[in-house]
């Protein structure tokens, strides 16, 4: 399990900022065929399209993976297929449901690529899987209708602990703020001073614990049971009061930005 061991990276998350923010998922090229096969066999697609009033389903390296053409392939980069979901208020539900299908499948992809991962990655391979995530979007669209959770690896937990003196991550708060403004018709301004994004917060602490939150009633995701983990272990992620796809995608963007920051540091370390 990822919580107890550091594994080679088969996919990664990333956040693209600027005027047109996007969430990116990069998938190791040798696992793309298996990803396509698993998603192509998903029996829930017709029901999902009918239930949410979606228009199309794409499943392939050239077409992308998801609904209504929101997840677009951007070619190969350093051995990974880059998939980009541009964030727009017209496609909030389609983007959230696409992330559900993609992330929930990717977390289990090693089950279908076990031999590939075992033979292709050498012991000195430095790129490690930092986290896996799972999410859902429930039809009632009421309390806790958009849950988000997952697992972070021991190497990610070590990284969070190494930066715990910072207390917070402004880059992560900005990513959530950019995402919220891209998706919501009610924008939130940027304040002056040391707390420019008061509606969005982040906290990093002891034993690699962290929490990030966005607009809502204590709406957050983080390491709720961090104190139960032993030294050298990762953490499980849980959420609280995620009631809408807007909140879910904002927090997902925050996790993607954390992934960017961690990968920048961790990829420079020697393997262990």
Indicate if the alpha-carbon torsion angle 12, 180, 102, 150 is positive or negative: positive
pLDDT of residue 259: 97
For 198-216, b where at least 16 C-beta lie within 10 A, e where not — what string? ebbbbbbbebbbbbbbbbb
Q: Record the pTM.
A: 0.94
Q: Are 211 and 202 in contact (CB under 8 A)?
A: yes
- Residues near 36 by Cβ (< 8 Å), separated by ≥ 6? 59, 60, 61, 65
The C-alpha atoms of residue 253 and residue 269 are separated, in whole angstroms, by 25
Q: What are the pLDDT digits (tens) for 27-37? A: 999 899 999 99
pLDDT of residue 2: 87
Q: What are the pLDDT digits (tens) for 177-213? A: 999 999 999 889 889 888 899 999 999 998 899 999 9
DSSP 191: P
The C-alpha atoms of residue 112 and residue 36 are separated, in whole angstroms, by 11
How far is C-alpha 47 from the geometric centre of its chain's CA atoms?
A: 24
Main-chain dihedrals φ then ψ at residue 54, nearest 5 degrees: -85, 170
Mean pLDDT to the nearest integer, 89-94: 96
pLDDT band at 144; cut points 50, 70, 90: low
Helix or strand run (H / E) with residue 79: none
């Amino acid at each position: 399990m990822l919580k107890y061991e550091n594994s080679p990276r088969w996919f990664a998350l990333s956040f693209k900022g600027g005027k047109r923010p996007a969430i990116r998922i990069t998938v190791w090229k040798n696992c793309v065929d298996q990803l396509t096969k698993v998603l192509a066999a998903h029996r829930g697609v017709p029901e999902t399209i009918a239930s949410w009033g979606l228009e199309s389903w794409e499943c392939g390296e050239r077409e992308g993976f998801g609904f209504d053409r929101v997840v677009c392939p951007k070619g190969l980069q350093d051995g990974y297929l880059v998939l980009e979901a541009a964030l727009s208020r017209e496609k909030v539900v389609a983007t959230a449901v696409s992330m559900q299908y993609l992330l929930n499948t990717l977390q289990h992809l090693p089950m279908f690529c076990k031999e590939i991962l075992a033979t292709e990655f050498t012991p000195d391979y430095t790129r490690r899987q930092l986290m896996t995530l799972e999410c859902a979007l429930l039809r009632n669209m009421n309390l806790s209708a958009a849950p988000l959770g997952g697992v972070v690896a021991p190497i990610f937990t070590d990284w969070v602990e190494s930066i715990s003196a910072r207390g917070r991550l402004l880059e992560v708060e900005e990513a959530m703020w950019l995402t919220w403004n891209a998706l919501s018709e009610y924008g939130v301004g940027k304040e002056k001073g040391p707390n420019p994004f008061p509606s969005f917060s982040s906290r990093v602490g002891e034993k690699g614990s962290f929490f990030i939150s966005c607009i809502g009633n204590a709406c957050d995701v983080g390491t709720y049971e961090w104190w139960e983990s032993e030294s050298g272990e990762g953490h499980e992620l849980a959420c609280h009061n995620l009631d809408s796809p807007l909140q879910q995608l904002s927090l997902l963007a925050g996790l993607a930005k954390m992934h960017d920051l961690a990968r920048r540091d961790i990829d420079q370390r020697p393997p262990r």
